[in-house]
Each structure stands twice: as C-alpha cells, then as structure tokens.
Structure 1
C-alpha cells in the first residue's frame, strides 16, 4: 500500500534537488527577492517547486497541492505539502545546509514523506505504518534516555517577533542540561536528523505546514514523539514543536513549560 505514492514523493524530491544543485552558489543576486523583511526567495525556490509539482501532477493529478511558493490548490483532503527549498537563507548565502521536503497528507495525517539533502546525497523516506529509512536502510531515533546530556536542535527565525522572550526563557532552561544545541537553519533537516538518531531532540516555535509535513512522519515512523509546547497534538496547526525520543521529548517538554 502506498508504494506508488512513495515512489512519486521520492521522484519529486529528486527533481527538485536536481534543480537546486544547478543553482547552488551560482545565483544571480538579481533573482533573489524579499517576501517580507529578512525572508528571502530566489529563482531556485520557484524553479524547484515547479519541477516538483510537474512530477506530482503527472503521477497523481487528482491530488491537491500546497507549496511554500505557489500556495494551495485542488483537493484539500488528499494533497501534497511541499517545501522546495527548506533553508533558503542558507542556500542564498552559500551555506551548505538545506533540503527538499515533500509529503502527502490525507484526513488522517501524513501518508508518505521524503526529505532529500542533495549535497550529502542523504535520502530520508517514510510511509505511514511501514517505518522509515535513511538511504534505504531502516532508521530509528536514538536511545538517549533523557534531556541531561542530550544533543539537541532548535531554530529561531526573524518571524518569531513577540514570541522571542518566550523562546529565550525556554532556551535558558534547556541549555544547562543539554550536551549541545545546534541551530543550523533547516527545520526539515532537523526533524530528519532526529529521526535517524543524529539529534536526540528538537524544539521550535512558529513553523509552517511545509516545514514539518514530511519530517513529522519520519520522526513518528522512527519511534519518536511529537507534541506542541503544551504537550498536546496541536503541533501541525500551531507550528510549535517538541520532538525527540520518548524520554527526551518528555523532559524537554517539562523544561520548556518551566
């Protein structure tokens, strides 16, 4: 079940990745614009999304589509949710940490998801109820038993705005307990790296559906836990995520709530 959707998801991510590799560190500054202050978009984002959508429309024209650049269209019950370039600022600056995220969602949540890191040739793929793989091999979250000594990821975008004090206070409570905290600038890759055991946990506020649609399934199918900052299941709607191994997520949630 879902083999064709999985294959389409992977093929679409690869099509987007090919476009992005052709632009990386070759962008004409004239093709980079600001959507809002400090929130940039480039010709690479748009061309990658077009390539991804063409692949998906060819294989599953009956499904809807939600992309970061092109918005929503078609069926809302079964639709692809796509970030053609997660980590756009990194990409524009030439910082080698960005990815493609493609997922299919239905009324019950994520069905298939793929996160592709073209620079490292890393492919993270999951199917609902069938587990997740990293470059074709089964993957699981780490065995880290709790927050003390955990290796964590986080993010804080310019758009945090008035939520910065809340985030900063939470960070201050988590920092003394973690072995290390990294802020690399791609939420989708952070989620993939929790799913495969590189990171033990992750927390962030204010993410968008395309940031998390594929990564959430990777984490869940790898044995990880996702909640919102109140410990509930409103994380997809709010974009406020607490993620990790069961023990790390539990401890992390307690620290974030104070």
Structure 2
C-alpha cells in the first residue's frame, strides 16, 4: 500500500469510529451549533494527530483549522472530518470522512470513509479506485435517458438558485432521475462505484470534493467545471461522471448557466 494512503486510511478509520460512537450513543447528538462544531473539531484533531505523527513536515488544509503550514510546501493534506454534518445531526446515517493528498498541485491519494456502512473508498493516482479492497469502475450509461444523477442544492450560494433550478429542470426533462444525499464526498464515491451515473453541484469547498474527484477519475470517469474545463478546483462548480454522461450533462445545462457560473 502507498505509504501516505496507509496513513490516510488509518486517520479516516480513527475519526470514523469516533463519529460512529457519538452517533450511536443515545442523547449524545444535540442540535446546538456548539455540539456540531465539537464533533467536527474532535474528528479533525484525531486525523491531524495521525498525519503529523508520520509526516510532521507536510502542510494541511482542513475544514475547521484552515491552512496549517508545514516545511514541505509541495505536499498538502486536504481534510473534511465530517462531510454530511447535517445528516449526522438529524440522525440520518449518511456521512463520511474525506482525506486527500495533493503533491505539487496534483491529487495523488484519496480516502472517503463511510463509518456507518464500513465502506472505505480509496484511490492512488495511476493505480485505480477501490472499495474495501475491490477494484471499482464507473457506470457505462451512454446518455441521460434512465441515468441517475446526484446533486446538492446551493443552500449557501442562493444567488445561483435560478440558474441551478433551470439546469436541474433541463436535465430532468432529459429523463434523468435524481438523488440528493447531503454528502458531496459520498456522492462522488458513488459515481466512482457506478451506483450513480453522474453528479453536479455548485460552489463546493476543496475539502468537500478533492478526495472524491480522484476516486471518480481513477474509476475511469471525468470531472470538469460547468464549461468542460478544469477550474473546479477554484470555483467549486463540479460535473462528474463517465465521459458520455458528462458530455450530455454539459450540453444540457450550458444554455442555463449564468455568466458567473461560466467563469
């Protein structure tokens, strides 16, 4: 196993077990903002401790702590300690730990761990995607007819709501069906596993999608921004799926995009 993947798996499992224990203890989950932040922070602390024990010189970019500079600026760990926080709070058992490693601007290692189902999605650049040790390939759906697409509503970017709703309607009219799970990392992992055929979302943060993006690509899929380019790293606007589905999605939504979503 790739040495950094080994550490990422160890960190994800440790944090995932902590999250699962807190989910399963009656009365341990409260809906206050303070308790939400505590779960996120404690999970993140466990992950960072594991990483820094083996790689103290590496940089870290995490949801709660922001950027932690290390001596080695070429390697950066990107962490979402609990992707799907609202699901966790509402006791909907669909959330994940997401960890990625970027080396000189390229995502090289990815882990997305679902502690409730004990599903560990992993990828190493150039070595494919796996689920619990078994190789994954994305779907072979050829067009949007009968395709299952996942998405997330831009709740924190409501200025994009009209364009998003129009794009959603356009895809729906192409006979696509939709799922909304509340965890971007698992949405992308499911695309990699062929459980869904495509995915799109607006204004994600790097910790939401960096690991999932590598899972999709290493499973034979394609990840682009809304214009078919590669600016999703900065914009957070993502379309993912197998190449045929992505092409069909981009073609369908291109006339519905606002000028801001084309940047």
Interval containing the TM-score (normalised by the shorter chain): over 0.9
Residue 168 of structure 2, aligned match among 171, 179, 186: 171
- Note the alpha carbon deviations across 1:224-250, whole angstroms, 9 max, x for none: 001100111001110000100110000
For 1:150 and 1:29, the matched residues in 2 are separated by: 37
Q: Residues of 1 paired with 2:215 and 2:243: CA distance?
A: 15
Question: Cα distance 1:178–1:107, how it changes in 2: closer, same or farther (>3 A)?
Answer: farther
Q: What is the Cα-based RMSD across aligned positions, in Å?
A: 1.5
Unaligned runs of 5+ in 1: 35-39
- Structure 2 match to 1:4: 3
Partners of 2:37 and 2:6 in 1: CA distance:
28
The residue correspondences of 1:221-240 to structure 2 (distance < 5 A) are 221-240=218-237
TM-superposed deviation, 1:148: 1.7
Tell me the alpha carbon deviations over residues 169-211 of structure 1, each in whole angstroms, 9 at most, x when there is no partner: 1001001224420011000000000001001000000000000
- Aligned pair in 2 of structure 1 residues 171, 179: CA closer, same or farther (>3 Å)? closer
Q: Does 1:125 align with 2:122?
A: yes
**1:48/1:252 Cα in 2 relative to 1: closer, same or farther (>3 Å)?**
same
| Paired position in structure 2 for 1:27 | 28
User: TM-score normalized by structure 1?
Assistant: 0.93
Query: Secondary structure at 1:97's aligned position in 2?
Result: coil
Q: Given that residues 101 and 107 in structure 2 are in contact (C-alpha distance below 8 angstroms), is that contact kept between their aligned partners in structure 1?
A: yes
Q: Which runs of 4+ in 1 moved over 4 A?
A: none
Q: CA deviation at 1:160?
A: 1.9
Q: How does 1:1-80 map to 2 (within 5 A)?
A: 3-24=2-23, 26-29=27-30, 32-33=32-33, 41-75=36-70, 76-80=73-77
* CA positional deviation for 1:165: 0.7
CA distance in 2, matches of 1:140, 1:164: 33
Structure 1 CA distance, aligned partners of 2:6 and 2:153? 33
What CA deviation, in whole Å up to 9, does each residue of 1:62-114 have, x standing for no partner? 11111101111114431100000000001011011100000101223111000
Aligned length: 251
Unaligned runs of 5+ in 2: 256-263
- Tell me which residue corresponds to 2:149: 152
Q: Residues of 2 paired with 1:90 and 1:178: CA distance?
A: 28
Deviation at 1:28, TM superposition (A): 4.7
